[in-house]
Amino acid sequence: MGGHYDVPMKTTAKYLVVATVGAILSSIILHTHSEGATKTRNQPSKTIEIDEELKLPLEGKTIVLDPGHGGKDVGSTGSQGTYEKDVTLLTALNISSKLVEQGANVVMTRADDTFISLEDRTELAQIEDADLFLSIHFDAFECSDVHGMTTYYNKSQDQDLAQSIHDELFKLDTEIKDRGVMFGDYHVIRENTQPAILLELGYISNANEEKRMQSESFQEQISTNIVNGVINGLG
């Protein structure tokens, strides 16, 4: 093969590519224009329509996440030595990253092992004008047989939101006992000016649940389910 054949062949190929891309582009432009003529006649511009389509479900929502206890307040202690304050933080951090993925503005009452007063926690929700204050806890009871998850609200207007989140909690493979949506007289939901829910995501005093709450699979599932519940409840 002679070298002088290569040059025109390559050039032809390049022209073909350019021509093809050009044809595709003009067909896209034509398509967009014809759609615009029929579908978006009453809308101010095409850009706004695209922005709405790309909007994430929790965009514009502020959620204050409250990992229970912290610092000198360890919360409950499991028989295997687990501190509630550590599991609440782990869980809240997992929920936080999933909420951010869905477009939420997340503010944590604590993001490390620090003591924060109950007053400061509720005040943060007010300062941030939160759409939701979500407190994460794990239960304990003197009888180690007791197990399951409970969702608490304090004000009647928060009951539907509590139910939306609670309904998603049990979309798990595991057989976790459903202890229901209950009225709770806890400071962080009682003294809150914002919609406020408190989750008790299992009993640290039950050996099975103490082990499970720290497992990667439970953490992944529960944080996904809670975020789905928040989307349903705030949507």
Residues that bind Zn ion (CB under 5 A): 68, 75, 137
| CB nearer Zn ion, residue 75 or residue 195 | 75
Angle (deg, nearest 10), helices 216-234 and 159-169 = 150
**Contact present, 197 and 155 (Cβ < 8 Å):** no
CB-nearest residue to Zn ion: 137
| CB nearer Zn ion, residue 90 or residue 100 | 90
Min CB(121)–Zn ion separation in Å: 12
Min CB(127)–Zn ion separation in Å: 23
For 84, 116, 202, the CA distances from 130, given in Å and listed in that order, are 25, 18, 26
| CB nearer Zn ion, residue 75 or residue 202 | 75
Alpha helices in the chain (DSSP H): 3-39, 46-54, 84-101, 118-127, 159-169, 187-190, 207-212, 216-234
Min CB(43)–Zn ion separation in Å: 50
Min CB(219)–Zn ion separation in Å: 17
Of 131, 111, 108, 106, nearest to 121 by C-alpha is 108
| CB nearer Zn ion, residue 164 or residue 205 | 205
